[in-house]
Amino acid sequence: MGKLWGGRFKKGLDESAVALSYSIESDKRLYKQDIAVNRAHTKALAKAGILTKEEGKTLVACLDDLEARFATDILPFPQPDEDIHSCIERLVIEKVGDLGKKMHTGKSRNDQVITDTRLLLSDEIARAISLLDDLQFSLWELASANQKVIMPGFTHLQVAQPVLFAHHMLAYVEKFGRDRARLHDCLERMDECPLGSAALAGTNYPLDRELLAKELGFSRVTQNSMDGVSNRDFILEYYAAVSIMMLHLSQMSEELIIWSSPILGWVTIGDDFTTGSSIMPQKKNPDVAELVRGKTGGVLAAFVGLHETVKGLALTYNRDLQEDKSQLFNVVDTVRLSLDCYAKMMPGITIHEAPIRKALETGFVLATEVADYLVLKGVPFRDAHEITGQLVMLAEEQSCGLEQLSVKDMQQVSDKIGEDIADVLTLQAAIDRKSVVGGTATKQVKFQLKRLKEHYKWNKR
């Protein structure tokens, strides 16, 4: 079979133009979706009387056979075609002869490719949501198993206040929950079938677009054919959502990289998600965390790249849009692998309490407790802040923690301090006093663990 568009051309493409423009090596990944689109379109043609019932059955059977051949890798690549659409059409024609030439009636590669892409991305988003659930659950389990571990919380990467390790892990459960919601939003908005838009103006044939949508699993059809073939919003929305998700994974990666350094030694990452050095035999490198952190930039770059491509395009289809798929395939692979690694890596994290407790002895982690103690004694907060700063300087001079200062020494700074200061200068007291909704108090963390388990129905796992 010749090219799909060669009738008005005297010369074929130059070799360099072929190398630049042919996309079969990239979009062959859409074979399953493209066959599904051709199958649905064939049924619509038969219903409209453009094909006889027997012709429709023959084409559908051919497409089914072709899908089975692709699935078992019987069909070798590369194929000598411009793209996956022309490849499948050629193979159908080779199998059933001139009948195969009728299959493309009433559709264009413009509405075909964007329908393929929506189908593929819908599947990938559903998979990402499932993997996010796995990751959230692994974090929830890690939090549940370490509810009594107290660690330093940080601002500016400086020791700030004590928090429960479980509270820290549940912060990421919340972040990934928002990522799930954004992906659900993406799915809802992209649940429209553009097939039947043809090249840009719609089709001359009485195709039942609702039937096409139902056959392909969409809940509705697009309402404007020009928008149907030009719209790449749904890919941009997906990029935006997974860019934020990857940002959250990157933040977690940074913390695990820091925490697993022998300098801190707070956690150990399992052997199955770390690697060694080619020259330093003692090394255990957090490579998976580093790779996820590194790949985050590429996901954001895909969003920026498509944004800048689309912003300069007049309606409707332009060949520039061919570039959306190779980047999309790279992003969905990155997202899937990153989430899969993290969901499996987190259950293998080992927490080391001794170095964490040692870290709590630095940075005057209980300073805010002293300030709040003074406020409850009637001291204005600004004055309490100043007094506590003076107590910190005193402790530095004595090379001790605030809790190790004598009450007599403290009273030289403020006569509001009494023997009951000892009741607040403990890590557990500092934790349990934060008993507001969303706080790090043991009671609140237990409540959040229960709430999240019920919300995500993890009790059924």
Active-site annotation, residues: 156, 277
Rounded Cα distance between 158 and 137, Å, is 29
How far apart, in Å, are the Cα atoms of 26 and each of 86, 344, 381? 14, 29, 63
**Residue 22: alpha-carbon gap to chain centroid:** 30
Rounded Cα distance between 444 and 450, Å, is 10
Phi, psi of 5 (to 5 degrees): -130, 20
Rounded Cα distance between 296 and 298, Å, is 5
Q: Is the peptide bond before 72 cis (omega within 30 degrees of 0)?
A: no
CB 399 within 8 A of CB 363: no
Angle between the N-to-C axes of helices 165-189 and 442-455, in degrees from 0 to 180, rounded to the nearest 10: 30
Tokens 């019932």 locate to 53
Q: Which helix (H) or strand (E) holds 121?
A: helix 109-145
CB 111 within 8 A of CB 41: no
Phi, psi of 218 (to 5 degrees): -85, 150
CB 363 within 8 A of CB 159: yes
DSSP 313: -
Rounded Cα distance between 111 and 193, Å, is 9
Q: Please, which residues bridge with residue 64 across strands?
A: none
